């Protein structure tokens, strides 16, 4: 919309488009064009306000990337100060003979009010500020930025692995993973840019010293030669002007340098700088009490300022008392909860006390409650919602809701996962610490208690947050306490998918399919097949890790063969053949080669005869052969897993179901497929022959 009928290029302009060109033109104008004193006052005031605003923004950040534009801001504020130095130098040298207000009221105020009109004091103050800025603040911030850039770059591979682990576990989606990868890249670029930008501030400090010297000596020459001033008056006028000019530029420079140090030195947390200081300095009442006692003892020494020391000791003792009271009240809360439960137990029993068993439950100790409490910043509920959504997209049905409750009988940092009221998995997770998991290729040890990853049983170590980057740089996969629980829960839901598919879920699944193919469902259920048979077929598929997303193919296959047989095993085998392409793709994604184990011909013939005679490979064959078969398959499966492949055994169709059931006890990751399930387009590569 262009109501003023402006040219198209003018209509597209807005404040953000012209901000950068305007700043550049402003800086050039200050260096080239003479500016009146009143304009200098406005620009110096703006420079001071800008430096204070940058410092306050730096104090409010929770992590460095919250102020990602800071390196550019640092450069632009430095150039602004240098441009103001050039503009003020021009005014000082040309108008300095008229008096100390020649360069504006701001410079005059800094020359008179701040240093009392004494240029000796002004020179000393200016030199001290410059030394503090140059040798302490700026140098320290630059060093922190340099080391931060180095460690961030070293930790990038570990952080990328952690992102991939969260993505594979279903804790995050593709968009979130892409955002986190971009954040990791931006973090290293930010510290590198800060390392370079800090050099501008150090150069600005050197330039400030040179400018004040030039102003003093240049002013003396101009005053004595061109304006015939008395030497004492010339020294007084030009020195005060030069000192005021230097201070009005150096103080904002010091403030900006402190902001840079604050931004790069803070450790990422959910609190800002103020919150961290209050939380960590005043969290232990015993420490504050001891400090109050020491200060009071120093105040009792003869000759000491008793009032100041004793007043400070009393204030600290009061703070320690408040901290202790707050902690005592927090410890009383579990007792109040227990008393409430005892009162409720004395009421008359009713049918309301008979509660249905949760299909999936998560019970946590009281120290883990913050993970599931949104009011305390817990994000575990959000992660569980994400993994349920990912499970539905990949496996093909919506898992039941996870019911979460606290359990005071558990250890404070423990949790347990229940399936239909029965505990099937337990673990521990420590808030504030990270679990460093060894994926098998780390290059160093870490301090901390050794443990195992509760989901997959990999060796792991609980570490403090301050060595997280070091652990990632050594190749560990580092996850926080919430991720440990979410990953474990996701693993349990995936491995017990068949038990989670009840009649209600099957009916909801059929209702969902009927929205697109109503006639297909109407002709199948209940005319040709019952809901129970469909449920058993789907559970058989899920038990062997086959996803049921392609419900159209499953329903069509059942509709085709339901009139011939109602045997669940036969129907499952027929469905697997039709899903063969999807099964192979699930096992060997992005590969035209199927890497499998096979049976020796003689062994396969013996097993086939046993199955046909008895119907079960686990009970029909001689125990010695069964033990040897199980042992050799386990060894071959481990070999395939070390190659980064899903262990798969290729057998004939009559053997597939019974062998899968028998061998699943030895290795739950083993997949048994038949020749009929392999697509013609795939190439078979045999890694080992069992029983050869």
Tell me which long-range contacts 379-388 makes (C-beta under 8 A, separation of at least 24): 379/482, 380/404, 380/482, 380/485, 380/486, 383/171, 383/482, 383/483, 383/486, 384/486, 384/489, 386/170, 386/171, 386/172, 386/173, 387/169, 387/170, 387/171, 387/486, 387/489, 387/490, 387/493, 388/493
In terms of CATH architecture, what is 590-692?
Answer: 3-Layer(aba) Sandwich (3.40)
Name the stretches of the chain with pLDDT < 50: 1, 3-4, 6, 9-11, 344, 618
Give Cβ neighbours of residue 656 (< 8 Å, ≥ 6 apart).
573, 672, 673, 674
What's the predicted TM-score (pTM) here?
0.54
DSSP E strands: which ranges in 358-484? 360-364, 402-406, 414-419, 422-428, 433-437, 450-452, 459-464, 477-480
Peptide bond just before 245 cis, omega within 30 deg: no
> For residue 3, what pLDDT is reported?
47
pLDDT tens per residue, range 169-189: 667 777 788 888 788 777 767
Determine contact, residues 554/579, Cβ cutoff 8 Å: yes
How many CA atoms lie within 13 Å of 238's alpha carbon, on the beta-carbon side?
A: 28
**Domain-wise residue ranges, the chain:** 27-269, 282-333, 360-496, 501-578, 590-692
> For residue 574, what pLDDT is reported?
94
In terms of CATH architecture, what is 501-578?
Answer: Orthogonal Bundle (1.10)
Determine contact, residues 681/634, Cβ cutoff 8 Å: no
Which residue bears the tokens 């125990």? 623
- Please state, in angstroms and rounded to a whole number, the distance separating the CA atoms of residues 190 and 199: 15
The answer to whether 501-578 and 590-692 have equal CATH topology is no
Instruction: Please list the residues that pair with 462 across neighbouring strands.
Output: 435
Could you tell me the sign of the dihedral formed by the alpha carbons of 517, 520, 523, 524, in that order?
negative
- Please state, in angstroms and rounded to a whole number, the distance separating the CA atoms of residues 490 and 486: 6
CATH of domain 360-496: 3.40.30.60
What angle do the packed helices 231-265 and 138-168 form, to 10 degrees?
Answer: 20
Determine contact, residues 451/461, Cβ cutoff 8 Å: yes
- Please state, in angstroms and rounded to a whole number, the distance separating the CA atoms of residues 452 and 304: 58
- Please state, in angstroms and rounded to a whole number, the distance separating the CA atoms of residues 37 and 369: 62
Q: Is 646 helix (H, G, I), strand (E, B) or coil?
A: coil
> For residue 131, what pLDDT is reported?
75
291: burial class by Cβ within 10 Å (0-12, 13-18, 19+)?
middle
How many CA atoms lie within 13 Å of 653's alpha carbon, on the beta-carbon side?
A: 13
- Please state, in angstroms and rounded to a whole number, the distance separating the CA atoms of residues 235 and 196: 39
β-bridge pairing 683-690 and 593-599: parallel
Count the helices and strands in the chain (H runs, E runs).
27, 12
Give Cβ neighbours of residue 361 (< 8 Å, ≥ 6 apart).
402, 403, 404, 405, 417, 418, 419, 421
């Amino acid at each position: 919309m262009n109501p003023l009928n402006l040219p198209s290029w003018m209509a597209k302009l807005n404040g953000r488009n012209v901000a950068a060109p305007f700043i550049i033109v402003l800086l050039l104008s200050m260096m080239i064009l003479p500016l009146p004193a009143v304009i200098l006052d406005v620009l110096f005031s703006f420079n001071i306000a800008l430096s204070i605003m940058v410092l306050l923004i730096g104090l409010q950040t929770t992590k460095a990337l919250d102020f990602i534009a800071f390196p550019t801001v640092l450069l632009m504020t430095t150039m602004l100060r240098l441009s103001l130095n050039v503009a003020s130098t021009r005014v000082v040298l040309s108008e300095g003979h008229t008096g100390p207000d020649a360069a504006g009221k701001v410079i005059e105020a800094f020359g008179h009010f701040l240093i009392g009109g004494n240029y000796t004091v002004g020179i000393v103050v200016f030199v001290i500020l410059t030394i503090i800025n140059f040798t302490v603040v700026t140098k320290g911030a630059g060093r922190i930025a340099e080391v931060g850039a180095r460690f961030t770059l070293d930790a990038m591979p570990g952080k990328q692995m952690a992102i991939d682990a969260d993505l594979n576990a279903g804790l995050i989606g593709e968009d979130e993973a892409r955002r986190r990868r971009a954040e990791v890249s931006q973090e290293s670029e930010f510290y590198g840019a800060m390392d370079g930008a800090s050099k501008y501030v150090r150069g600005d400090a050197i330039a400030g010293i040179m400018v004040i010297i030039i102003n003093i000596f240049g002013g003396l020459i101009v005053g004595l030669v061109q304006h015939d001033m008395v030497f004492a008056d010339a020294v007084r006028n030009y020195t005060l002007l030069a000192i005021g000019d230097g201070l009005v530029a150096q103080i904002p420079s010091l403030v900006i340098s402190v902001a840079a140090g604050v931004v790069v030195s803070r450790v990422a947390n959910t609190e800002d700088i103020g919150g961290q200081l209050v939380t960590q300095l005043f969290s232990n009442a015993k420490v504050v009490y001891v400090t109050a006692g020491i200060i009071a003892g120093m105040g009792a020494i003869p000759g000491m300022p008793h009032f100041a020391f004793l007043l400070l000791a009393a204030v600290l003792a009061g703070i320690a008392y408040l901290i202790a009271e707050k902690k005592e009240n927090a410890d009383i809360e579990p007792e109040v909860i227990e008393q409430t439960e005892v009162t409720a137990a004395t009421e008359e029993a009713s049918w309301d006390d008979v509660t249905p068993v949760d299909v999936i439950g998560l019970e946590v100790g009281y120290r883990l409650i913050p993970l599931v409490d949104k009011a305390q910043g817990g994000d575990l509920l959000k992660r569980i919602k994400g993994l349920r959504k990912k499970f539905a997209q990949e496996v093909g049905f919506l898992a039941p809701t996870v019911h979460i409750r606290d359990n005071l009988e558990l250890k404070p940092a423990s949790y347990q996962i229940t399936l239909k009221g029965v505990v099937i998995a337990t673990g521990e997770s420590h808030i504030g610490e990270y679990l460093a998991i060894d994926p098998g290729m780390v290059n160093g040890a870490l301090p901390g208690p050794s443990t195992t990853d509760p989901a997959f049983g990999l060796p792991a170590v609980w570490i403090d947050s301050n060595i997280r980057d070091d652990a990632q740089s050594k190749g560990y996969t580092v996850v926080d306490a919430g991720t440990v629980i979410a990953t474990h829960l996701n693993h349990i839901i995936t491995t017990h998918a068949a038990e989670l598919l009840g009649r209600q879920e099957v009916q909801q699944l059929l209702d969902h399919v009927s929205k697109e193919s109503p006639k297909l469902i109407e002709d199948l259920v209940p005319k040709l097949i019952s809901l129970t048979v469909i449920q058993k077929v789907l559970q058989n598929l899920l038990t062997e890790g086959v996803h049921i997303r392609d419900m159209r193919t499953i329903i069509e296959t059942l509709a085709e063969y339901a009139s011939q047989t109602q045997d669940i095993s036969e129907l499952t085998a027929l469905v697997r053949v039709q899903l063969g392409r999807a099964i192979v793709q699930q096992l060997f994604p992005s590969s035209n080669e199927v890497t499998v184990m096979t049976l020796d011909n003689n062994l396969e013939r013996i097993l086939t005869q046993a199955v046909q005679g008895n119907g079960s490979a686990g009970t029909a064959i001689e125990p010695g052969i069964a033990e040897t078969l199980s042992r050799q398959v386990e060894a071959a499966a481990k070999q395939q897993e070390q190659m980064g492949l899903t262990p798969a055994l290729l057998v004939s169709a009559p053997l597939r179901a019974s062998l899968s059931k028998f061998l699943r006890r030895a290795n739950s990751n083993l997949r048994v497929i038949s020749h009929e399930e392999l697509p013609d387009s795939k190439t078979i590569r045999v890694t080992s022959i069992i029983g050869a």
